[in-house]
Structure 1
Amino acid sequence: MSGDGPGPSTPNVPPGLNLDTRVIEECSALVQQFRDRKFDKTIAVARIMGAIPTAFVEGGPGQQAARSYIGMLDQIEKELVAAASRGNRGGHHSRSPSPDGGGGRRSRSRSPSPNGRGDRRARSPDRGRRPGIRERSRSVSPADESGSKRQRVNDSLLPWVIEGFIIEPTLSPELAKTRRMLLEFAKDPKYVLGTIRNSTNHVAFPDSEWLAIIKGDAVDLNKVITNQFSVSHERHRTEAIGDGVQILFGSSTPTKTVSTHADWLTAWSKAADATTFVFPHRRLELEAYRRYITDLFVSSAEHVHERVILLDRKLCNEVAGRRDLLLSDCGQFSHWERSFLNDNGAAYLESKPKTKEVSKGVSAGSSGEKKKSEPCRRFNDERCPSNKSTCRFAHICSRCRRNHPVSKCDRPSAVSDTFGAA
């Protein structure tokens, strides 16, 4: 490294780290070389520490960056060890001859017997394994059946992964812990769901929303409150019809929606209990958010409560879509408050045209009914091209309002004969 000092901060580096672009490139190259097994971990750590000018400054940004890169080395080391372990187990039965020369005899002793028994028990993939651990991790979905043939993605070439390692030390402990748990859950979400459902103290909650929590998505409170009062069982089944294409059977839309403050409290309490069951460290965060939304309900007129519910849905989706924001960071929600709660807010105004369209539809219907009750002038002149069912006006006499033209009416003429619809 040159002694010119660190250059300007790059977009991929959080404020305060001030790493030169060349430093990032050099450290990323060292991580890749370690993954390619060009040198061992000790040399990789030494070179990374040497590449970062302030790596040995206690508590400094350079030390944080070095810790992040060393964490990447630790993760790669675990992956390499796990891959080697899987390779040893997979090649156990096709091992080359042993030093004692018994390799050939061992291979013959493990060949299938004439009656097809004995050796199959020795080769059973379930023998000596804990059920539901590694097997499930290799068969998450039909689309992953060929996963063992795919090459592993090189994480060190993904800018957001490197940025995540660098930024993680700057996150709050709650955010960092949630992120680590979500990364672990992502390995096999269905297995995690199975452990929750078979636990002894979990709360009653829809499977679809358990999965939403496990994947870090926002919970649908409409489904929660529907499940709260439902007496039917949730039954979902998926069928694969092609590469990565699945059809979900048994899924239904919520029959009840959150429309009042009381509805929201009921659904949110259930959702918060389920979330803290999976993430116990988020209890204070969820309680702070509950107080925040409750204050909005209390301080708003009842006709605004629908907007508060929409705001809650937006905020939950916003936080779920990020990994650097907590629901308790209420100070960062002020622009969404203005958008949904103010009469001139963009989100509120966007919802108004739908109401206007409905009103126009009602007015048009009323006008149509009024026109249909008016006598048709052309019918009374016996020249209407439309029949009774298609004409916009009534085929009735303009004088007595019976089912005949005015020319056939026996009632005396009146001034009203001159009025009628065209």
Structure 2
Amino acid sequence: PAKRAKQDKGLFNWTANAFIKQSILSPRQRRIIKETENFKLDLNDAIESIEQSGINPIFPKKLWKSILRDEYTELSEVHALVAAYHNPEAPRLASNKFAEALESSTFAKPAPTKAITDQNTWRRAWRATADAISFAFADRRTELTAYEEHIGRLFDDNLASFHRNIINYDKAVRQLIGSRRDILFDEFDHAEVARFRTMYLLPTGTHFSAPSFSTPRADQAGSRPRNRSRGICRKFNRGDCDGCERKHLCATCNESGHGEHTCRKAARK
């Protein structure tokens, strides 16, 4: 068979700019790239080593690949699988080679998800993810803690009705970081991250979702006094009203001057 031609990466349009970018990366960023490239030589073997270590954090096996690639991890999947781990009634599937092969095939069911709806579910899923990242990569705990504090302050400083925007902002930022090698989690003052804050957290932002405030119905508003003058007085119709704001009309014929107890029309029925 003919020898396959080797790809010339020097012809890529982005090669020169990428080389310049690589040259100005920080030592932390370089170390993470080096560790990631080492994991990617054999991801399955690396995951096997993690599980056999005996000191690995609780984390879904199927999501370790995104951690080791230093890519975006879907927190709703983390939340679902970690919650299932702590649920004694959840089924426990025996691990085997066939099941693992099926999981990576197109026949596998979509990963279960459990929505991130508030700061509590976000923190639960994020901390499990941060534990996995800091287990795999050296000296990233401080970076990840700083990011949690950044998002936590946004939760603390805003009303709960605004929190959906914070969750969307976090997701966008983590997708950005997972697709790049020049932004770390504690670099939330980076121009691209700051731009996302404008887009997701400011009312003028293109991805801002205005909080919805439910208004109680008139018949359910406990603090709103009823307009008693609109209703027909029941006591008047029974003949025992001493005077009130309600309408003194007959409940049968809707005429004034008498109540239902003396209404002739009511007597004829």
Map of 1:200-211 to 2, 5 A cutoff?
Answer: 200-211=54-65
- Find the partner of 1:199 among 33, 36, 53: 53
Aligned counterpart, 1:64:
none
Aligned counterpart, 1:288:
146
Aligned counterpart, 1:338:
198
Is the partner of 1:329 in helix, strand or coil?
coil
Q: Higher helix share goes to which structure?
A: 1
1:227 counterpart letter in structure 2: L
Aligned counterpart, 2:166:
308
Q: Percent identity?
A: 23
Aligned counterpart, 1:228:
82
Is the partner of 2:139 in helix, strand or coil?
helix
User: Taking structure 1 as reference, are residues 226 and 303 closer, same or farther at Cα in structure 2, changes over 3 Å only?
Assistant: same
Aligned counterpart, 2:155:
297
Aligned counterpart, 1:28:
none
Q: Deviations over 1:192-217 (max 9, x none)?
A: 22221221211111122211111221
User: Taking structure 1 as reference, are residues 159 and 195 closer, same or farther at Cα in structure 2, changes over 3 Å only?
Assistant: farther
Map of 1:346-365 to 2, 5 A cutoff?
Answer: 346-348=206-208
Alignment check: 8 A CA contact 1:288 1:328 kept: yes
Relative contact order higher in (CA < 8 Å, ≥ 6 apart): 2
Alignment check: 8 A CA contact 1:185 1:192 kept: yes
Aligned counterpart, 2:124:
266
Alignment check: 8 A CA contact 2:79 2:121 kept: yes
Larger radius of gyration: 1
Question: What's the Cα RMSD here?
Answer: 2.9
TM-score (norm 2): 0.66
TM-score (norm 1): 0.43
Q: Residues of 1 paired with 2:111 and 2:140: CA distance?
A: 30
Q: Deviations over 1:111-144 (max 9, x none)?
A: xxxxxxxxxxxxxxxxxxxxxxxxxxxxxxxxxx
TM superposition shift of 1:169: 3.2
User: Taking structure 1 as reference, are residues 194 and 260 closer, same or farther at Cα in structure 2, changes over 3 Å only?
Assistant: same
- Find the partner of 1:249 among 86, 94, 108: 108
TM superposition shift of 1:314: 0.6
Alignment check: 8 A CA contact 1:238 1:248 kept: no
1:253 counterpart letter in structure 2: P
Q: Does 1:177 align with 2:35?
A: no
User: Taking structure 1 as reference, are residues 157 and 184 closer, same or farther at Cα in structure 2, changes over 3 Å only?
Assistant: farther
TM superposition shift of 1:305: 0.8
Map of 1:37-186 to 2, 5 A cutoff?
Answer: 150-158=4-12, 160-161=14-15, 163-186=17-40
Please identify, of 265-274 and 163-172, the stretch whose mean Cα deviation from structure 2 is larger.
Answer: 163-172
Q: Residues of 1 paired with 2:116 and 2:23: CA distance?
A: 38
TM superposition shift of 1:160: 4.2
2:188 counterpart letter in structure 1: C
Is the partner of 1:345 in helix, strand or coil?
coil
TM superposition shift of 1:188: 2.1
Q: Does 1:214 align with 2:214?
A: no
Q: Deviations over 1:344-402 (max 9, x none)?
A: 321125x99xx9xxxxxxxxxxxxxxxxxxxxxxxxxxxxxxxxxxxxxxxxxxxxxxx
Structure 1 stretches of 4+ with a deviation exceeding 6 A read none
Q: Residues of 2 paired with 1:315 and 1:150: CA distance?
A: 40
Q: Residues of 2 paired with 1:166 and 1:344: CA distance?
A: 35
Is the partner of 1:287 in helix, strand or coil?
helix
- Find the partner of 1:190 among 44, 52, 56: 44
Aligned counterpart, 1:139:
none
Alignment check: 8 A CA contact 1:221 1:268 kept: yes
User: Taking structure 1 as reference, are residues 278 and 160 closer, same or farther at Cα in structure 2, changes over 3 Å only?
Assistant: farther
TM superposition shift of 1:248: 3.8
User: Taking structure 1 as reference, are residues 162 and 181 closer, same or farther at Cα in structure 2, changes over 3 Å only?
Assistant: farther
Is the partner of 1:180 in helix, strand or coil?
helix
Q: Residues of 2 paired with 1:226 and 1:186: CA distance?
A: 26
- Find the partner of 1:275 among 119, 129, 133: 133
- Find the partner of 1:329 among 180, 187, 190: 187
Q: Deviations over 1:140-163 (max 9, x none)?
A: xxxxxx9xx744434444454555
Q: Residues of 1 paired with 2:124 and 2:168: CA distance?
A: 16
Is the partner of 1:247 in helix, strand or coil?
coil
1:320 counterpart letter in structure 2: G
Alignment check: 8 A CA contact 1:237 1:248 kept: no
TM superposition shift of 1:343: 2.4
Q: Residues of 2 paired with 1:322 and 1:341: CA distance?
A: 22
Q: Residues of 2 paired with 1:158 and 1:180: CA distance?
A: 22
Is the partner of 2:106 in helix, strand or coil?
strand
